[in-house]
Structure 1
Amino acid sequence: MRTADPGGGTTPHASREDGPTVGFDLDLTLADTRQGIGDVYRALAAETGVFIDVDEVLSRLGPPLEHELAHWFPAERIEEMAARYRALYGDIAVPASKPMPGAFEAVEAVRAAGGRTLVVTAKSHGHAVATVEHLGLPVDAVVGGLFGTGKAVALREHGAQIFVGDHIADVDAARAAAALGVAVATGPFDAAELRAHGADVVLPDLGAFPEWLAGRRAAS
């Protein structure tokens, strides 16, 4: 796996043979991080004495950490709480992460087609790399710290033709990168909401991705 720092400075890569370059979001697309994230918020609530509705937090995973913390802490404490959350995350959340159903098969389908895979996520770069390594996902690059249309920077630099994600912000990212937006209904938005937001393709989960990719290549 080759990692890349967020915000640019990476070298674009050509696809293997004539296969596609496919970007994947991480949380609730490739990785089921709900248990670990919930446990970090529970630890943060216990330390600070501040009530945090963990079920509510988990219902809207996707945006940057600071956005979520703003629901529970005053503005002047966000930076401090973000730093504490990240300090806890590696020991608590990374080991609790599990692959989403179909994650390995989706990545392998791209590789079998002669393509490249990358992860582009709002999760901090270090934790994104640690999560991918913990899961053993055989991706070619990881870029952290990007959300919404900001992900288009990495997608364009790596020449991604397809971006797969579970959030409407991932649909925005694909559009901004002029990539095909493939949405999976495994996160906070259902298939109808993803379709209404403009996803080019909506799949129930990653289990349907290999067949879709094979069909797309056969039709091209």
Structure 2
Amino acid sequence: MTLIDSRPGIKAAYAALAAETGTFIDADLAITRLGPPLEQELAHWFPDDQIQPVGDRYRELYPAHAIGPTPALPGAHEAIAAVQQYGPGGGAGAGASGVAVGGRAIVVTAKHEPNAKLHLEHLGIRPDAVIGWLWAEAKAEALHEYGASVYVGDHIGDVRGAHTAGALAVAVATGPCDADELREAGADVVLADLTEFPAWWRGYVADLA
């Protein structure tokens, strides 16, 4: 949960999925484990041979149930604007997972890309690009492609992705991993939340000058 607090929406989507399939899903527990791909969570509730079709159905249900209840986190709009306004000509990324740095603000997330875009459009968050379906080290693919030198995320998987890409790992303690976990995972910078990001970013860019 870097730019958005997806917990209310995901909880609603799981409730709809449980009602439709007749399978118990502890949605309150599931939303404490956000970050990894959906299939990892579904494996706790469904047999292996059902995970793919159930995952497809969840993603179909998601827009109707998850977009409306999901708010932006404090500082989300300002963080994107700071990168776009004060970028050094490189790029920054954020995960929705997270945000990346380099003159352009890109969002790289494990979410189903169309649903990630729906969230951002609904909330008026306008990054320069949105790349979905990438988790942890795999996020380095997009970070390399867009030349991101900084990646902002809320999970230890985001820290690994940043380091795999050779980017600075900036972590915000607004997701399932607390500040100590993020530091232990090797985050280069740990912020309480995105409201602290614009000031940090301006200092970072100034130091590059």
What is the TM-score with the length of structure 2 in the denominator?
0.90
1:79 aligns with 2:52: yes
Q: Which moved more, 1:87-96 or 1:156-165?
A: 87-96
1:156 aligns with 2:144: yes
1:43: Cα distance to partner? Answer: 1.1
- Structure 2 matches for 1:136-175, cutoff 5 A? 136-175=124-163
1:217: Cα distance to partner? Answer: 2.1
1:202 aligns with 2:190: yes
Equivalent in 98, 110, 135 of residue 83 of structure 2 = 110
Letter in 2 for 1:90: P
1:70 aligns with 2:70: no
- How far apart are the structure 1 equivalents of 2:9 and 2:142? 26
- How far apart are the structure 2 equivalents of 1:37 and 1:57? 9
- How far apart are the structure 2 equivalents of 1:54 and 1:161? 36
Specify the alignment match of 2:14 in structure 1. 41
- How far apart are the structure 2 equivalents of 1:78 and 1:93? 20
What is the TM-score with the length of structure 1 in the denominator?
0.86
Specify the alignment match of 1:15 in structure 2. none
Unaligned runs of 5+ residues in structure 2 are 88-102
Unaligned runs of 5+ residues in structure 1 are 1-27
Equivalent in 22, 32, 35 of residue 59 of structure 1 = 32
- How far apart are the structure 1 equivalents of 2:174 and 2:200? 17
1:219: Cα distance to partner? Answer: 2.5
CA RMSD, 1 decimal? 0.9
1:191: Cα distance to partner? Answer: 0.3
Specify the alignment match of 1:124 in structure 2. 112
1:68: Cα distance to partner? Answer: 0.5
- Structure of higher RCO (CA pairs closer than 8 Å, 6+ residues apart): 1
1:136: Cα distance to partner? Answer: 1.1
- How far apart are the structure 2 equivalents of 1:44 and 1:216? 44
Number of equivalent positions: 193
Q: Which moved more, 1:129-138 or 1:141-150?
A: 129-138
Specify the alignment match of 1:101 in structure 2. 74
Letter in 2 for 1:129: K
1:85: Cα distance to partner? Answer: 0.3
1:178: Cα distance to partner? Answer: 0.4
Q: Helix, strand or coil: the match of 1:31?
A: coil
Specify the alignment match of 2:181 in structure 1. 193
- How far apart are the structure 1 equivalents of 2:130 and 2:206? 28
1:130: Cα distance to partner? Answer: 1.2
